[in-house]
Structure 1
């Protein structure tokens, strides 16, 4: 049978046709039980493949092994190769999870060139570890928020280009080594010195990003590392 062969699923009319027999469940590859159950039921197979693809990537399983597991599962349950949409769902989910993990390891996001949230957290935490620094009075966060994307503007590349422009504007205004990172889907954050020029720089940044309809404001830092981490978590939410 061909690799993308058509097969029927759960169409026998037998009320037990969508149940996964125990003898098959015992032989399903690790992490593929949900996929096997979805194949047996004949529904939600792409969603099950996406969840499994992400889980396998987090476990360090290669894409080749993941695809082999999907093929073995399909043969166990249906006696046929997986459909193209199932292969694609698993592969895309695996790739997205892997890229996300690599991005967290890196200091910068590969698409925008901005510091990752993990790197920004580290930079903020380092300030609190310095006994000579009163973080809440010496530093602040300057937040640049892009507007919500419309349906026509929602393509990932369009969003990445907008975030890159906001980051470039922030670097122009804060050009002395401050950490500038992406926080959440729509925000760029500058870890800036709270000095006499801070308000003026925030105003300049607001003018520069006006073409992107961005909001700019200054966010004070709290008096503890734990509270600062909660603040960054809050800023990641839309």
Structure 2
């Protein structure tokens, strides 16, 4: 056998050995994940799984492969908790001594921060893209999204250019969520959303523009000041029923004239959402 043939043979053998190691890791990872309670075994195998196996066995940083795996899990419908449990199974397998065949116990809290961050970011970015492309309202509060409000503002400014006058303004509403914590913040915004929809129930755009701020795009009307007063009273009543959310009030309500241009209006909405 010539030197060239011998070299080619050794490289092929090395590739086969490398592929065997990847398959072994993949098999142990899958077994650990299934034992931990993965819901749909048929959904587990993905091309990104093999990429992660190859990356963690290499000296390269596996963050990029883990990011892609997180995104692929989200696209396949896996929740974040299940995705992180799968990652914990991989970490538990990797922590075992070489050649070990024993049962491992995945522990999400033991995942290194860098691995968890890369996977969670990949999962979250896909969910964010999906939400932005298909949802017009917030599933928790029922308020329209900021993206929908921007669409409505574009239409309002186009209408104003045609008519030569601006007939709309914003009613802005905010709560002080620094005085609440955890789930109480969501409850407070949900109660505010209910009050907003009850007061502004004639086709106005009622949207969330930040964690503690909502906006109503309304036509100028002499009855608007009474509506604002009713909103203050109704929100106070809603918040008072729960001592955990009451500190978020009283609600702050003010009228905001629309800026001269659509671009300035978007800057206003963006600043309020921070």
User: TM-score normalised to the size of structure 2?
Assistant: 0.57
1:115 to 144, 168, 171: 144
1:126 to 140, 155, 163: 155
Contact 1:140–1:218, Cα closer than 8 Å, also in 2: yes
Matching of residues 28-39 of structure 1 within 5 Å = 28=62, 30-32=64-66
1:195 to 197, 221, 245: 221
**For 1:56-107, what per-residue CA distance to the aligned partner results, in whole angstroms no more than 9, with x for missing partners?**
4399664588876776677668768764222995676666545444432301
Contact 2:138–2:144, Cα closer than 8 Å, also in 1: yes
2:209 to 174, 180, 183: 183
| Residue 84 (structure 1) aligned with residue 121 (structure 2) | no
* Cross-structure match for 1:161: 187
Q: Secondary structure at the match of 1:202?
A: helix
Show structure 1 runs of 5+ residues with no match: 5-21, 33-51
1:170 to 191, 196, 200: 196
Matching of residues 1-238 of structure 1 within 5 Å = 3=32, 24-26=58-60, 28=62, 30-32=64-66, 52=67, 56-57=70-71, 62=76, 63=78, 83-85=107-109, 86=111, 89=116, 96-104=124-132, 105-130=134-159, 131-134=161-164, 137-150=166-179, 153-156=180-183, 158-211=184-237, 212-237=249-274
Question: Hey, which of these two has a bigger chunk of helix by percent?
Answer: 2
**For 1:8-53, what per-residue CA distance to the aligned partner results, in whole angstroms no more than 9, with x for missing partners?**
xxxxxxxxxxxxxx98334847344xxxxxxxxxxxxxxxxxxx48
Q: Secondary structure at the match of 1:176?
A: coil
Give the CA RMSD over aligned residues.
4.0
Distance 1:115 1:23, change over 3 A: closer
Larger deviation: 91-100 or 178-187? 91-100
How far off is 1:125 after superposition?
1.1
Contact 2:169–2:219, Cα closer than 8 Å, also in 1: yes
Distance 1:222 1:27 in 2: 48
Q: Secondary structure at the match of 1:216?
A: strand
Show structure 2 runs of 5+ residues with no match: 1-27, 34-55, 99-103, 238-248
How far off is 1:166 after superposition?
1.2
How far off is 1:206 after superposition?
2.0
Q: Secondary structure at the match of 2:207?
A: strand
